[in-house]
Amino acid sequence: MKLMKKILLSLAALAFAATMNAQVWIGGEVGFTTNHTNGSDHTAMELTIAPDIGYSLSSNFSVAVALSYGHTSNGDGSKYGMPDMTISNVNSYSIMPYTCYTFAKAGNFAFFVISGLKYSIDHAQGLESNFNRFGVFVIPAIAFSVSDKVTLASHIGDGLYYNHTWMKDVARSNEVGFNLFHGISFGAYYFF
């Protein structure tokens, strides 16, 4: 029992020492995307709002979680594996735990990679069941430090990703892609 107590105290001290220079931050992104599927008459428009909170473990590495709401209008079912289906309004709710790794800095600019997991529930108007989506992603991004407390960031596209989408008793699809030209997101972050 004494050995277990020493191990637990040692781990607690190590965790405390590792996070002494850690910094909590809050922020979020707003994104806009348009998407036209070849052979389709639909041009989908999507607006996304994603507040998040993070914890900087070092000057180069952070962990965070974002909650996201998105609304898509005038889309088709291509991202759900049903390209012939017309979907006029979709509300998406997501949770995304992720990490940020800064690999280069130049003055007030930082270049980093966001990688993580995403789980979404998409409710389409007129459908009884929701679409569920699970994915993994790696996205290149850039940030500009306005001050010690405020940073602006942006990423373009979806980066490298895998999505598995399913709907109860109806559809399943898998999608792997690399896309740097699918929308743009801007964010602002405040460091405590």
Q: What is the pLDDT along the chain (192 residues), one digit of tens a residue?
A: 666 566 656 655 544 544 455 689 999 988 877 776 666 666 777 888 999 999 999 989 999 999 999 888 766 555 555 555 666 688 999 999 999 999 999 999 999 999 999 999 988 887 777 889 899 999 999 999 999 999 999 987 778 889 888 887 766 788 888 877 666 788 999 999
What tokens does 61 get?
């590495």
pTM for the predicted model, two decimal places: 0.76
Distance in angstroms (rounded) separating the CA atoms of residues 80 and 131: 8
How far, in whole angstroms, is CA 175 from its chain's centroid?
Answer: 16
Looking at this protein, which amino acid is placed at residue 152?
A: L
Cβ 90 vs Cβ 75: under 8 Å: yes
The domain defined by 23-191 folds into: Porin (2.40.160)
Is 73:86 a contact under the CB 8 Å cutoff? no
DSSP H/E element including 139: strand 131-145
In whole angstroms, give the CA distance from residue 144 to residue 110: 6
Please report which helix (H) or strand (E) contains residue 171, including its range. Answer: strand 171-179
Q: Residues 176, 66, 45, 184: is their CA dihedral positive or negative? A: negative
- The number of angstroms, rounded, from the C-alpha of 37 to the middle of its chain's C-alpha atoms is 23
Residue pair 68/94 in contact by the 8 Å Cβ criterion: yes
Give the domain ranges of the chain: 23-191
